[in-house]
Structure 1
Amino acid sequence: MSTLYDQAMEEMIKTIHEWFDEQEKRDDLESVVKRTTLQMGIFNDIVLDYRPGRTTVDSLDLGLDDGLKSKQAGAFTEEQLRNEIGPKLVEVVQGRLDNLADTPLIDYRFTFRGKFPTTEGKMQLTLLEYINEEKRQLLLERIYSYVDKKLENGTYPTKRLESFFLTSHLLDPKLLPELDVAWTIRQYDRIQALNQGRPDALAEHRGEITRAVTAWAENQFLPQYFDVQSSAYRTNEYSLKTGATLQLNIDTQTGQHSDEHVKQQKSGSQPIDLLLYAAVMILRFEPSYSKPKGVTFLELAKQLGSRRAERMMTEGSGTYAKDDIHVKTEELECKANDVFALMTIHIRKEESCAYQQALTFIIHLLKQGFPKGYKIKLKSAVKQYLPIKGLAKSDTHRFFANALEYPELHPLLEEYAREAIQEFEFYEDTEGEKSCMPGSYATFGLGLVDEQYFPLVEYYMGEVDDEHQLIQDKFIAAFVEKQGVTAQSIPALVASLRRSTDSLKLKIQPTLENNEILELLVRQIQELEHYEAERVLYPIFGKVEKLTTLARKAQGRRKELLLQLLQAAGK
């Protein structure tokens, strides 16, 4: 063999041994796997990335270079890698596994993969798939025991770490070759039911379930029927394979579904039902930016002939009672589709009663888990908007502006806002600089009309994702113009300025010439961290140097107050 071949083999083998040697030095192996009975070992996968002189082995493959063409061709052919290099590397890894397979370091299964530059381009190979049958059987026993004791017959909340492992185990074809869809979905639903009383924990468990079913859909189910390409934006693009269809949806020669097919479809026992389950989990509980994936899953299921998917796209996921998603009275008609996070509202009579019914309809659905980042399609003879420049002139905006015209509905609008406000969520019909959190229009409108809603403004601003929302600046400017700077408005103003951007400039220094008002501002700002205080002061005074100059020129009590502002900002 050539010297180049020998050097490459030496480098790869040395790197493999170094990785295993480093892991064997760990002194926490036992403690890690003792956290839960559902973890058999720490590592189940390593990737060798051969780059001459820079070869690595890692258990984490982010796939950042997947799909990229190698700038430099490799020295070996694909045939050499498969027939000569690969087997020798497998021999090295297998030798290490023989000594470590029964330790907590290695899971019940272990995959060894490699990435190599070849004369034909970059190549990725799965070189070894190892299964420790003894560990596998023990893990299965533990899974069934856990499901029996903690889920099906349990009454207490479960641990997130347990859900982290269980949700994936139930969809692992190496562990459970025969997927029982109905049983699996039942366990996922049971996890949610047991944790229902702890909202934060419930969200974490749902996140684990969604992660597991999404991975199953993308890596196991969909590739059976679709050719998958990763786009430049790292999203999957799917093309239906020729002749691909679901057996369940093929009509019999008489044009009817067989009784068995109908029975299976109703029982939710088909893999397509798990794809739809994944879609609903994403659409109902994931942030707004994830929802397109849920819609994609539904569209793909529809392409495969799923009639249920087709119904879900027109009528919703089926999660809610028909009376909850469709209300029709003399004053209005409301419909809701959680799949597209859409509420359609037709105001037949422009009066308080109609908007009261519509708000009650929306609040009721939000309390049941309807996506907060929804949008409204409004049919109304009135086109009212909030007196705030820069907001999206959407139907959602118009609906709440119309409702705000009725003072008797203001308490109900506050109830809506407090139910809708959710960090990292955005109305479906806003984007870019006009993106805004659910509850924005109601909060802004109420904050402009009555000081009794200033606490609502403070609550709202505490939830604003100021990295992805800018329209709070527009509200702050309108708020100051309408409500002024007073003892009543200052707490809400300071809370708002904590979420402002560097683009905001307020012309309120003349008002702060009044030492009583300035002192109230100082008291509010002194309660903040230095960086928060500086952020609040910037829209008012500009850079700290300008405030320093003002303090130097001031006299008496005003000088003391300005110096206290500087001190609050850590200057």
Structure 2
Amino acid sequence: MNTIEKIIIDNVTNGIAEVTKKDLKNHIGETAYSECEIQEGYHDYLKIQFKGQKIGFFLYDFAWDRTPYFKLEISEPIDNLPKENLIDNVISILKQQISDFFFDKANQPMFSYCIKVVLEFEYKSGSYKETFFIEDEERKLELRERMNNYITKVIYNLDRKVKDAREVTVFAGNLVNFNLMDFSPTKLIETIEHCLNQTFKDIKNRKSSDDFERSILHRLKNWVGDEFKPLYLDISGNYSEKFTFKNDFKKENVNAEQLSLWVYTSYLRIKLKDYASDALKDLEIASKDFGSETAKKYLNFGTGLFAQEDIHYKDKNIECKANDVFSTISVTIKNETSECYGKALDFIVNLLQKGFPNSYSIKFYSKSEKQFLPIKGIAKSSTNRFFTNCLQYPELHDKIEQYALVAMKEFEWYNDVEEGEKSCLPGSYAVFGLGLASEKYFPLVHKYFEILDDEHQMVHKYFINDLIDKYGVTKKSIVLICEGILSAQFEMTYKNLAALMNKEQNLELLIDELKKLESYNVEEIIYSIWGRNYTKAISKLNSQLKELLLEQLKK
């Protein structure tokens, strides 16, 4: 063994010892199962990365994590070690050292019963990587037995409550581990459904329900991305997944139970509102390319979570249908009356109250003339057209307000508009129309400004412009106008508002409102009225109040 080979092997040995020492400081006095009856170890991953004269040790399999948990520097770069020497002389010794360390009970509970080990060597001229697994069959069987007992006692018999979030996380991880549990995908789905519908609905476990939903979705998505899809697809892209089918792909060769679990995962993501649009794409692929009848059923009829009378209504004048997989509500009006539009609103409100996806769109069909809210800059979408028609009937305005109060949810969007400048919170068109119809709905507009996501929505800046034209400056309107300006991160100058400030009483109302605000908010509003050169513009005002206005910027 030459010098560089010995340096690498000795440093890896010392490095693993240091990593263990550092990590176990967080678990002083702990042993397998001492803190959680179904957790016998903490880490199932170890990557050792060699680059130049540096060796990095990683305990987490995160593609984005490039910072080692522990690192050290050796006296010679690995480029001095020929690849053939690495493969013939070093790798086998490193594997044995890591294995010996893993099986040494003195180092528990550092690692779980099975670990994935990655040895990664980066040369100037290229790289070499080797991945292998080490498993302790005895520990595996003991953990499996403990899990089976836990499932019987805690999950099915409810002999005790679930202890805490840690126990939930560990349970979900073990459950979606086919190597450990030896479950079929069908058995796994049955167990998850029992957990969702019974175990975590029980009064003593309700507080852990959200933890279980998050944990089980995380594990299922990892299984889909790491184990199922790579069997049939070549995947690329870090943020936007792209794929091509493997050359030997044939849908008749796909494991039927695994396919069912993939479809179930997509269904669950839609049900629990976890990036439902991505789940929908998976369902479409599962239906079209993998031939899943269940996926096809979801796409045609929805998840089945809603009663038939909630997702379909029809009489001689109107028909309403809903599909929670596509997050669409279709409304067909055959007779243009307030009664028909009132029924459509009732249908939509009922759906939203019963858990229909908060980001949705309305597909509207009517023989009426196409008309949209007269607000420049907002999308001329089908959803916009539906509410424009509804707003023609003053007797429906209070019902439209009820809809808006149910529909408005932060970080949710109408999904018939592409993401970008025209994206808007569900309820936007109703709020805009009502806000311009009567001061009676100012409280609704106020609530809207409070709820919307001010970092990602700007379409309401056009509504503010129309609000100024409609009401001018009054004691009530100036409050709302200022709230609107402060409710988003956009730069827009309201020249119509600047023109109104030539009146003394309007300027006085503005100053009274500015006195309530912090200086940075004052500057934002003044900028929105007079633009970049607001100091110069204000100094030209024919008003004794202009000095008082400028003072608001200095407070």
Report the TM-score, using the length of structure 2 for normalisation: 0.83
Give the fraction of aligned pairs with identical amino acids, expressed as a percent.
28
- CA deviations on 1:280-325 (whole Å, 9 max, x unpaired) are 222343366x513432244225533321211222222222222222
Matched AA of 2:441: Y
Larger deviation: 478-487 or 297-306? 297-306
- Matched with 1:274 is 261
Matched AA of 1:90: K
| Separation in structure 2 between the aligned mates of residue 145 and residue 65 of structure 1, nearest angstrom | 34
2:472 is aligned with 1:484: yes
| Separation in structure 2 between the aligned mates of residue 344 and residue 197 of structure 1, nearest angstrom | 40
- Aligned with residue 500 of structure 2, among 508, 511, 535: 511
- Matched with 2:245 is 239
Structure 1 residues without counterparts, runs of 5 or longer = 67-72, 250-269
2:102 is aligned with 1:129: no
Matched AA of 1:110: I
- Aligned with residue 295 of structure 2, among 297, 300, 309: 309
Matched AA of 1:322: Q
- Aligned with residue 229 of structure 1, among 220, 230, 235: 235
Give yes or no for contact 2:103–2:136 (8 Å, CA) kept in 1. Answer: no
| Separation in structure 1 between the aligned mates of residue 208 and residue 537 of structure 2, nearest angstrom | 50
Cα–Cα, structure 1 residues 465 and 246, in superposed 2: closer, same or farther, change >3 Å? farther
Q: CA deviation at 1:87?
A: 2.7
Larger deviation: 140-149 or 330-339? 140-149
- Matched with 1:438 is 426
| Separation in structure 2 between the aligned mates of residue 557 and residue 32 of structure 1, nearest angstrom | 74
- Matched with 2:196 is 189
Q: CA deviation at 1:99?
A: 4.7
Matched AA of 2:411: F
- CA deviations on 1:514-563 (whole Å, 9 max, x unpaired) are 565555545555555555454444312445x8459948999866534542
Q: CA deviation at 1:349?
A: 0.8
2:310 is aligned with 1:324: yes
- CA deviations on 1:35-83 (whole Å, 9 max, x unpaired) are 75554443222222221223311123332499xxxxxx97878876665
- Matched with 1:337 is 323
- Matched with 1:166 is 171
Q: CA deviation at 1:458?
A: 2.1
Cα–Cα, structure 1 residues 64 and 155, in superposed 2: closer, same or farther, change >3 Å? closer
Aligned residue pair count: 539
Matched AA of 1:375: S
Give yes or no for contact 2:455–2:488 (8 Å, CA) kept in 1. Answer: no
| Separation in structure 2 between the aligned mates of residue 484 and residue 499 of structure 1, nearest angstrom | 19
Q: What secondary structure sits across from 1:126 in the alignment?
A: strand
| Separation in structure 1 between the aligned mates of residue 207 and residue 309 of structure 2, nearest angstrom | 29
| Separation in structure 2 between the aligned mates of residue 207 and residue 195 of structure 1, nearest angstrom | 18
- Matched with 1:295 is 281
Larger deviation: 98-107 or 429-438? 98-107
Q: What secondary structure sits across from 1:218 in the alignment?
A: helix
2:456 is aligned with 1:468: yes
| Separation in structure 1 between the aligned mates of residue 162 and residue 313 of structure 2, nearest angstrom | 36
Q: CA deviation at 1:404?
A: 1.3
Cα–Cα, structure 1 residues 43 and 101, in superposed 2: closer, same or farther, change >3 Å? farther
- CA deviations on 1:1-40 (whole Å, 9 max, x unpaired) are 5555455545555544443343244466859997755544
Structure 2 residues without counterparts, runs of 5 or longer = 67-77
Correspondence list, 1:374-385, <5 A: 374-382=360-368, 383-385=370-372
- Matched with 1:56 is 56
Cα–Cα, structure 1 residues 159 and 427, in superposed 2: closer, same or farther, change >3 Å? farther
Give yes or no for contact 1:181–1:273 (8 Å, CA) kept in 2. Answer: no
Give yes or no for contact 2:492–2:528 (8 Å, CA) kept in 1. Answer: yes
- Matched with 1:540 is 529
Give yes or no for contact 1:108–1:132 (8 Å, CA) kept in 2. Answer: yes
| Separation in structure 1 between the aligned mates of residue 17 and residue 338 of structure 2, nearest angstrom | 75
Larger deviation: 469-478 or 388-397? 469-478
Give yes or no for contact 1:188–1:209 (8 Å, CA) kept in 2. Answer: no
- Matched with 1:414 is 401
Matched AA of 2:335: K
Give yes or no for contact 1:167–1:188 (8 Å, CA) kept in 2. Answer: no
Larger deviation: 18-27 or 515-524? 515-524
| Separation in structure 2 between the aligned mates of residue 147 and residue 496 of structure 1, nearest angstrom | 55
Q: What secondary structure sits across from 1:194 in the alignment?
A: coil
- Matched with 1:264 is none
| Separation in structure 2 between the aligned mates of residue 64 and residue 145 of structure 1, nearest angstrom | 34
- Matched with 1:215 is 222
| Separation in structure 1 between the aligned mates of residue 345 and residue 199 of structure 2, nearest angstrom | 28
- Matched with 1:177 is 182
| Separation in structure 1 between the aligned mates of residue 159 and residue 518 of structure 2, nearest angstrom | 45
| Separation in structure 2 between the aligned mates of residue 428 and residue 19 of structure 1, nearest angstrom | 48
Cα–Cα, structure 1 residues 330 and 159, in superposed 2: closer, same or farther, change >3 Å? farther
- Matched with 1:43 is 43
Cα–Cα, structure 1 residues 555 and 234, in superposed 2: closer, same or farther, change >3 Å? closer
Matched AA of 1:511: L
Q: CA deviation at 1:430?
A: 0.9
Report the TM-score, using the length of structure 1 for normalisation: 0.81
- Matched with 2:74 is none
| Separation in structure 2 between the aligned mates of residue 12 and residue 286 of structure 1, nearest angstrom | 45
2:487 is aligned with 1:496: no
Aligned-residue Cα RMSD (Å) equals 4.0
Q: CA deviation at 1:223?
A: 3.4
Give yes or no for contact 2:338–2:396 (8 Å, CA) kept in 1. Answer: yes
Q: CA deviation at 1:443?
A: 1.4
Give yes or no for contact 2:44–2:114 (8 Å, CA) kept in 1. Answer: yes
- Aligned with residue 86 of structure 1, among 82, 85, 91: 91
- CA deviations on 1:240-273 (whole Å, 9 max, x unpaired) are 6434436887xxxxxxxxxxxxxxxxxxxx4433
